[in-house]
Structure 1
Amino acid sequence: MTDLPSPPLVTGPRDMALLAFERLPESHRFDGDDAPLGYVLIVLRHEGHTLMTYQRKRACWELPGGGIEPGERARAAAVRELREETGQTVPEDALRFVGYAKTALGPTRHVLRGAVYAAQARSRAPFTANDEVSAIHWRADGSPLPEGLVQTVDEYVVGLCEEG
């Protein structure tokens, strides 16, 4: 179990804690670090709404995102994950890098970093449920989501994207 700083910036359901948000250059490397870069998150907005996904496995509303495949750049992973999970497409050069989220995940408190990107969608593509995501919701600022848990860590990250 990793010792966590006290207190985390925010905690959420499913044993998640946001330990830090680092506004480092996108080119920063975490080689040999105790919290390697392992995932991406995308804050996609369209006409004042933020895209949220209902993740089947965790039964929770979250931002789109996911793991970075071996040899894949984080920016490319963000484009791929967004398309795979939601059907939305954004070119790599339309993504704005915001920073790195450092999170403790699950009951083992495994610590990873995630590259966080923000983008504006030109339109809303149709959604088809898939193995990972059962629903999407374009959330107006401050409005409630449909029934179910909400990953408060991701909500906090949305606010950080608007600050930067």
Structure 2
Amino acid sequence: MELWDIYNEKKEKTGRTMKRNDWNMKPDEFHLTVLGVLQRPDGKFLITKRRMDKEWAAGWWEVPGGGVRAGEESKEAAMREVKEETGIDVSNAGG
């Protein structure tokens, strides 16, 4: 089971967690998501196409991203999501 930290409006952890996609947060609670925007040296950007078996937005174009897991930092989450969705290891990338 994947857990996400719950944050307040100042991006401070509240000490509470939620199950992935369990949208029972209060109006003043938030969770973090990240996007991994990859740019090649020639200036072109990487976009990916969602798998057709995805429940939401199947076949749509997007950039890699997803929810930040409990205890994870945003940068770690972005690197993990890029690796999971594209197979590209960006741990030594600049930026």
Name the TM-score, length of structure 2 as normaliser: 0.59
Cα shift at 1:92: 6.5
Structure 1 residues not aligned, in runs of 5+: 1-27, 97-164
2:24 paired with 1:29: no
Query: What SS does the corresponding residue of 1:43 show, helix, strand or coil?
Result: coil
Q: Distance in 1 between matches of 2:49 and 2:83?
A: 15
Match of 1:53 in 2: 48
Match of 2:38 in 1: 44
Q: Distance in 2 between matches of 1:92 and 1:71?
A: 22
Cα shift at 1:87: 1.1
Cα shift at 1:37: 3.3
The 5 Å alignment of 1:1-164 reads: 29-31=11-13, 34-46=28-40, 47-56=42-51, 57=54, 58-59=57-58, 60-91=60-91, 94=94, 96=95
Specify the code of the residue in structure 1 equivalent to 2:87.
G
Query: What SS does the corresponding residue of 1:76 show, helix, strand or coil?
Result: helix
Cα shift at 1:38: 2.3
Identity over aligned pairs, percent: 41
Q: Distance in 2 between matches of 1:80 and 1:61?
A: 19
**Runs ≥4 in structure 1, deviation > 3 angstroms?**
30-33
Name the TM-score, length of structure 1 as normaliser: 0.36
Match of 2:19 in 1: none
What is the alpha-carbon root mean square deviation over aligned residues?
2.3
Cα shift at 1:43: 1.1
By relative contact order (CA 8 Å, sep 6+), the higher-ranking structure is: 1
CA 44–72 in structure 1, closer or farther in 2 if over 3 Å, else same: same
Structure 2 residues not aligned, in runs of 5+: 1-9, 15-26
What is the aligned length?
68
| Higher strand residue share | 1
Q: Distance in 2 between matches of 1:85 and 1:42?
A: 10
Cα shift at 1:86: 0.3
* 8 Å CA contact retained: 1:43, 1:51: yes
Q: Deviations over 1:14-43 (max 9, x none)?
A: xxxxxxxxxxxxxx6244672523210011
Q: Distance in 2 between matches of 1:53 and 1:36?
A: 26
